[in-house]
Amino acid sequence: MDKLSSELTLLSEQASSCTACRLAPTRKNVVFGDGNCLSDLMVIGEAPGREEDIQGLPFVGRSGKLLGRLLLEEMGITRKDYYIANIIKCRPPENRNPLPDEVAVCRQFIEGQISLIQPKAILTLGNFASQAVLESKEGITKLREHVFDKVIGNVSLKVVPTYHPSYVLRAGGMAMAEMRADIVRAKKLLGQ
Ligand code: URA
């Protein structure tokens, strides 16, 4: 195994045995991340839902299917072309919002993933992931349509905030068109 894969595996093993917050006893699986760790693009969501908790993989439920379709249609990429992970690695009960202390103890894992993968751009999905990555209190409607320069650990990168696909599933038409435009913004940034 190469150095990057073995360091990511080590970090995922640390996450798998983590008991640092109240989400540990109720999880079925720790959902660490999936996809191509050599990619210039990282996609970051909020926290695993029911299906992700069962399968141990991010974005495998309904919102993940929509996300995959939009990334394929707008960028021509599939999961083997990008890396995808969540801010929080364990499912919050009843899909409630993650609490600040849960975010704080879990932050080491997403920051570790970013430091190892060194993406050129991160597409953040929804309020929660966008605010956590950008360390901002602004809502997603203000954040999207902008590209942010950010340094995370040892990595200088661009952040492209967009809607969470579960919001787009509920809101439909206009929101979907706006999410497509955000994905195209990320595509242009990466020179694709
Ligand atoms: N929503 C998220 O934010 N992440 C997942 O993995 C699934 C749904």
- With cut-offs at 50, 70 and 90, classify the pLDDT of residue 172: confident
Gap from CA of 60 to ligand 1 centroid (Å): 8
Cβ of 46 below 6 Å from ligand 1:
yes
Pocket test residue of 34, 43, 44, 59 for ligand 1, highest count of atoms within 8 A of CB: 59
On whether the CB atoms of residues 134 and 150 are closer than 8 A, the answer is: yes
Phi, psi for 172 (deg, rounded to 5)? 75, -150
pTM for the whole thing?
A: 0.96
Domain of 115 in residue numbering reads as 2-189
The model's pLDDT over 149-159, given as tens digits with 9 standing for 90+, comes to 999 999 999 99
Domain count, the chain: 1
- How would you classify the pairing of strands 148-152 and 83-86? unpaired
Q: What is the CATH number of the domain that holds 110?
A: 3.40.470.10
The model's pLDDT over 95-107, given as tens digits with 9 standing for 90+, comes to 899 999 999 999 9
- % the chain with pLDDT above 90: 96
